[in-house]
Amino acid sequence: MTDFHTHSLFSGDADDTLENMVRAAIRAGCRYLCPTEHCNLDFARNRIDIEPSDLDGYAAEFARLRTKYAGQIRLTYGIELGYDMHCKSDYADIVKKYRFEYVINSTHLIDGEDCYHGYFDRYDVKTAFTNYLKAVRDSLDAPYRFDTVGHFGYVARNCPYENVDMYTAAPDLADDILKTMISRGVCLEANSSVRRAPQPCLPAANVLKRYRELGGESIVFGSDAHRTGDLFRSRSAVIEHLRNVGFKYHTVWDEGKKIQLKIEN
């Protein structure tokens, strides 16, 4: 049992304390858990209302819980950065200062616009997906270390249309993203918080299949939980889905070391 995308009250938009999240994970039999609190300089810069994260408080509490629950669960010190081209140097300083063991690089905004709320009111489907893919591609050149691209396909989470396909909107651009990730050793996240996007995870099945066709093997499960009840959300279905696509392993980090765990039949 693993989960490498979770949030607590330190993220500003979650419902449970970090200790409650850890305790719930232990009760569920979790072996590897990674809190990945938000760091949203992207929202702050564009004056989008979101409560700021308490990174100092998070650092202290994580260290306390790692010691307290040693032997019961393996905790990895993680962060989720909301990519913004104007905040790149600030993010680089944050990653260096806090020495995170696992970093998710996520795209939530496109040229300063929130691509979750009302984005498809302003753009047609092809334009919306193409704009998103361009933003993700730009994020890959961020000047700070990151391990994973978070919830690839995020723009589809609140898409009002059915049977939409991000990959076919700009296949060459999508392929460039996947090839670049593979060549740089960046992991692809299987994120089970899908909202209106295709089940059971982001990215959609055709993107996962294309990633495998191109030689991608590093994939990590994350529930994107913001409360204890969402930990390991749809995990069994996601792992089975990954196995059917052709993945033999999924990835975790343990104190900064990357580990491949076999997906059992």
Q: Under a CB-based contact definition with an 8 Å cutoff, are residues 146 and 186 in contact?
A: yes
pLDDT tens-place string over residues 185-219: 999 999 999 999 989 999 999 999 999 999 999 99
pLDDT for 165-187, tens place per residue?
A: 999 999 999 999 999 999 999 99
Alpha carbon dihedral 70, 221, 256, 143, in 10-degree steps, equals: -140
Which residues on neighbouring strands pair with residue 225, listed in sequence order? 6
Angle 205-213/171-184 helices, nearest 10 degrees?
A: 50
SS3 of residue 201 by DSSP: coil
Q: Taking a C-beta distance cutoff of 8 angstroms, is the pair 228, 212 a contact? A: no
What is the per-residue pLDDT across 28-46, written as a single tens digit (0 to 9) for each?
Answer: 999 999 999 999 998 888 8
Give 53's DSSP letter.
Answer: P
> What is the token pair recorded at 241?
């889905």
Read off the pTM: 0.96
Beta strands in 92-174 (DSSP E): 102-106, 109-110, 113-114, 148-149
**CB atoms closer than 10 angstroms to residue 182:** 17
